[in-house]
Amino acid sequence: MRDPLAAPVPKRRLIAVYPGSFDPLTNGHMDVIARGSRLADQLIVAILSNTQKQALFTLDERIAMIRDATAALPNVQVDSFTGLLVDYAAQRGANVVLRGIRAISDYESELQMALMNRKMRPETETIFLMAAEEYSFISSRMVKEIITLGGDVAAFVPSAIAERVRAKVRETK
C-alpha cells in the first residue's frame, strides 16, 4: 500500500464524474449535482447506457432532461457511457467519481462499488455527498413506479423537467 504522506500533492483541477442511471433525474440527484458543481472545476453527469436494463426514459430523453435541469450550471456537462466507469473516467481525464448516499442502506453497495473501482483504477477517488434530508427518501425506482401507475411526481423531480415527466405519465397510461 502506497504511503499517502510520501507523495507530493500535485495541484490539479478537480474533474468529477457523477455516474448513474438517472431514470429519471430526481431532486435528490439535482442536489448532488448542484453541490458537486461547487466542489469540482468540472462535473460530468454520465448516464450509463445499459442495454440490459429496461429504462423508462430513453437515453436521449434522459440527456435532454438533465441538460434542461442543469442549464444554469456552466461547469456541468451531460454525457453517456458504456462499459466500465473507471475506463470512462480515465478517458475523460476525471480524477474523482461523485456519488450520493441517502441512508445506511446505500452504504454497503456504494462501499463495494468504490472499493472495486479503486482496485481497478487507484487514481480515481470516490467522493460521497450525504443527501440533503429533504430528499433522502426519493428514489428513481419509486418515482418510476409512480409514473407507470399514472401518479404525480412533480414533488420529486426538478421543475425544469416536470413537463417531460408528465408527458411520459400520459404516454404510459
| Interface with ligand PNS (CB under 6 A) | 19-21, 48, 84-85, 113, 116-117
Nearest to ligand PNS of 59, 113 (CB atom): 113
CA–CA separation, 75 and 14 (whole Å):
11
Q: Minimum CB separation from ligand PNS for residue 113, in Å?
A: 4
User: CB neighbours of 56 closer than 8 A, spacing ≥ 6?
Assistant: 23, 24, 144, 147, 148, 168, 172
**Strand locations in 82-152, DSSP E?**
96-101, 125-130
Asked if 11 is an active-site residue, the reply is no
Q: Residue 2 catalytic? A: no
Residues 6+ apart with CB under 8 A from 27: 135, 138, 156, 157, 158
- For the question of residue 119 being annotated catalytic, the response is no
Nearest approach in angstroms of CB 117 to ligand PNS is: 6
Considering the complex, state which of residue 37 and residue 89 has its C-beta at the smaller distance from ligand PNS.
89
Q: Is 37 a catalytic residue?
A: no
How many whole angstroms separate alpha carbon 51 and alpha carbon 119?
Answer: 26
Cβ-based nearer residue to ligand PNS, 11 or 119: 119
Residue numbers annotated as active site = 29, 53, 102, 140
